Amino acid sequence: MFTGSFSRALVAAGMAVLVLAGCSSGAPLPPPPRDDAAALQRDQQAFVDAMKPRSPGGSRPVIAVLASNDGTEMTDLLLPYAVLGRADIADVRIVAPRAGRIDLFPALQVDGAQDFAGFDRTHPAGADYVIVPAMLKDDAPEITAWLRRQSQQGARVIGVCSGALVVGQAGLLDGRRFAGHWYDRGTLLKRHAGSTHLPHRRYVVDRGVATTTGITASVPAMLALVEAIGGREKASALAAELGVASWSPAHDSTPFGLDAGKRFAYLLNKAAFWRVERWSVEVRDGTDDVSLALAVDAWERTGRVRVEAVSASGPVRLRSGLVLLARPASAGDGVSDGAPRLPLSATLKPVPQLDRTLCEIAGRHGDARRDWVMLEMEYPAQQGAACAG
């Protein structure tokens, strides 16, 4: 007799087979042109120009980070909210159908969303910008209707990673160029008449609607948005805080896709559900949202780790001010007290923290597992010698 968890795991593995059997990211892409520097500069400036405030010197812009209470991608939400808040260039709000808690995937929960009705009362003219993360359900009617209204009122929209699916369901990709996560390329082209996928760009803008590639593209895209609103000096200072030298849209899309070998490795990974370990990550007031999100996201995507936040006293307020729900470390339930701890450095900047995390994943689970995580996150390469020491 199968246990309930065993049966659910079998169902999940079976669904993975069906999904991958029908999955295609389209024809293989050619490598990026070698003489692309001028085009890259042009596209970066086009994004900055398109995202500049409509009334320079006017009131402080309002940025809504859209969320589904029932499942929003963790890094897609936490990173834009934290980076834009840290820049102090706009009023930034997480907005969802219901006020309060947001369940994130692949892990963690936060509290502090404003509901649609409350946001609309406070900002009857709408948001200036709406950031759209990936969501477990990309066609929730209340979410797509609200997003469509915001666009009609003049908001510029940025779909992060698979948030492009939500943007498309709101009717905002038809006839437009888009980026989007490599996995969604075929789906988006089929759904949206006249749309064009633009490869080899981390972010793309077309008539007030922008899209990005995978999860980690929110780093350069948010820095470009900061430049548009607050200037290049502000963006440079934030880039230094994050541990990156550039927010260029440069990207080689060629390595990102599924061949037969990668599909088989994925299915083997999903089938080995009995090997999953339950880990905890220790958090406290002031924990850096971006480092936490990138590290937890990467470990969860190994398929070998499930991460739960623990603290000395329960919920904590992250550096951004957002409340992260966490178990008290003294709960004595065998998860909080006895679980392995996710290594999170207090000294590394966020992107070097991700690089170090990928090294740790390779050391524990092998290079193939690290490479799969990088594929899922559409992370192009490690940026420095993060494995040293």
Please report the DSSP string for 74-140 in residue order: HHHHHHHHHHHHHHTSSEEEEEESSSEEEEEESS-EEEEEEEHHHHHHH-TT--SEEEE--BS-TT-
Statement to judge: residues 213 and 360 lie in one domain: no
Residues 50-95: pLDDT tens digits?
999 988 777 899 999 999 999 999 999 999 999 999 999 999 999 9
Do residues 187 and 110 share a domain? yes
The residue from 196, 212, 242 where one domain ends is 242
**Residues 133, 85 share a domain:** yes
Q: In this structure, is residue 27 part of a structural domain?
A: no
Q: Verify that 95 and 225 share a domain, yes or no.
A: yes
How many domains is the chain built from? 2
Q: Is residue 276 part of a domain?
A: yes
- Supply the CATH number for residue 370's domain: 3.40.50.880
Residue 348 lies in a domain: yes
Q: Give 20: exposed, middle or buried? Use CB within 10 Å, 0-12, 13-18, 19+.
A: middle
Specify if 182 maps to a domain: yes
pTM of the model as a whole: 0.90
In a domain, 229, yes or no: yes
70 and 133 together in one domain: yes
Question: What is residue 325's predicted lDDT score, i.e. its pLDDT?
Answer: 97
Domain boundary at 242, 268, 289, which?
242
Q: Are 206 and 198 in contact (CB under 8 A)?
A: no
Q: Of the candidates 212, 242, 272, which is a domain's last residue?
A: 242
Between strands 129-132 and 109-115, the pairing is: unpaired
What distance in Å separates the CA atoms of residue 36 and residue 200, rounded to the nearest whole number?
Answer: 10
Check whether residue 218 and residue 140 sit in a common domain. yes
Does residue 49 sit in the same domain as residue 129? yes
pLDDT of residue 32: 85
Sheet order of strands, 305-311 included? 277-282, 305-311, 327-328
Element (H, E) at 240: helix 232-242
Is 289 in the same domain as 227? Answer: no
- Please indicate, yes or no, whether residues 271 and 238 belong to a single structural domain of this protein: no
Question: Residue 346's pLDDT is what?
Answer: 86
Residues 116 and 264 in one domain: no
Where the chain has pLDDT below 70, the residues are: 1-27, 260-275, 330-339, 381-389
For the chain, the residue count is 389
For 164, residues 6+ apart whose C-beta sits below 8 A from its C-beta are 132, 173, 178, 179, 180, 181, 184, 188, 211, 212
DSSP three-state, residue 249: coil
Looking at residue 270, its pLDDT comes to 57
Domain of 59, in residue numbers = 37-242
Angle in degrees, CA 175, 176, 178, rounded to 5: 140
